[in-house]
């Protein structure tokens, strides 16, 4: 996931606003107790998500892929008073761990945490969203985008994580491309050519595709 020289990344983190004590604890416990802790957004990306949310001041946020809740808490930092974040994850094994941190956060009343298949849940949502964060299984990124776009207000934003996929999106064509990489290649090209959105691919951590609905 790391494309910058380690010293440059460390310098960037040192000159980025500190994460809260709750987020530090969440990060530590995730790395100590949960499989695949690299899935955690982490300090630098978390502060970026928080900043974007504070710029937008969303009333409604949808997150697809909760993991242990780090990014959800970051995104909630920019919610308007009375705002709501709906976060969906298919992994019920993480529910108790994640709910503990949601309950201990200042946003406990603002987070609607749902366990289930996002492809089934998203069509049932009647909300209009100001911000959507996609960070789930890569195979379904294009489906998530198409399901969510109609629920995003004009001028609203979508962010998709892992769009550089550890650099695999630029691997040589004579190397066999795995399904996740191909799904991300297809997604990146699709949204780049979609005239319903404007887009910028930001090489933060594993790549964020920032999209605004026109």
Helical spans, DSSP H, in the chain: 6-14, 21-33, 42-56, 70-76, 95-104, 118-121, 141-149, 179-193
Nearest to residue 48, comparing CAs of 137, 159, 190?
Answer: 159
What is each CA distance from 31 to 34, 65, 68, 210, 214, in whole angstroms? 6, 18, 10, 27, 39
Give the predicted TM-score (pTM) of the model.
Answer: 0.96
Output the pLDDT for position 73.
98
Domain parsing of the chain, residue ranges = 6-213
Whether the pLDDT of residue 173 is over 70: the answer is: no
Q: pLDDT tens digits for 23-33?
A: 999 999 999 99
**pLDDT band, very low/low/confident/very high, at 15 (cuts 50, 70, 90):** very high
Output the pLDDT for position 5.
86
Nearest to residue 84, comparing CAs of 50, 59, 49?
Answer: 59
Q: Could you give the CA distance from residue 80 to residue 188 in angstroms, rounded to a whole number?
A: 30
Q: What is 6-213's CATH topology? A: Rossmann fold (3.40.50)
């Amino acid at each position: 996931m790391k494309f910058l020289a380690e010293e440059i990344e460390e310098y960037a983190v040192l000159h980025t606003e500190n994460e809260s004590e709750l987020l530090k604890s969440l990060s530590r416990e995730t790395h100590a107790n949960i499989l695949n802790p690299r899935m955690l957004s982490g300090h630098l990306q978390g502060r970026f998500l928080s900043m974007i949310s504070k710029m937008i001041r969303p009333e409604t946020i949808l997150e697809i892929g909760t993991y242990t809740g780090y990014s959800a808490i970051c995104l909630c930092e920019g919610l308007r008073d009375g705002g709501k974040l709906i976060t969906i994850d298919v992994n019920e094994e993480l529910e108790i761990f994640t709910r503990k941190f949601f309950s201990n956060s200042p946003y406990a009343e603002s987070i609607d945490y749902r366990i289930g298949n996002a492809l089934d849940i998203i069509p049932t949502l009647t909300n209009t969203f100001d911000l959507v964060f996609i960070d789930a299984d890569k195979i379904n990124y294009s489906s998530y985008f198409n399901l969510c776009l109609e629920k995003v207000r004009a001028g609203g934003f979508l962010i998709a994580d892992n769009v550089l996929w550890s650099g695999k999106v630029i691997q040589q064509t004579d190397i066999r491309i795995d399904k996740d990489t191909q799904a991300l290649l297809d997604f990146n090209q699709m949204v780049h050519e979609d005239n319903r959105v404007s887009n910028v691919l930001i090489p933060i951590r594993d790549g964020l595709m920032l999209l605004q609905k026109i």
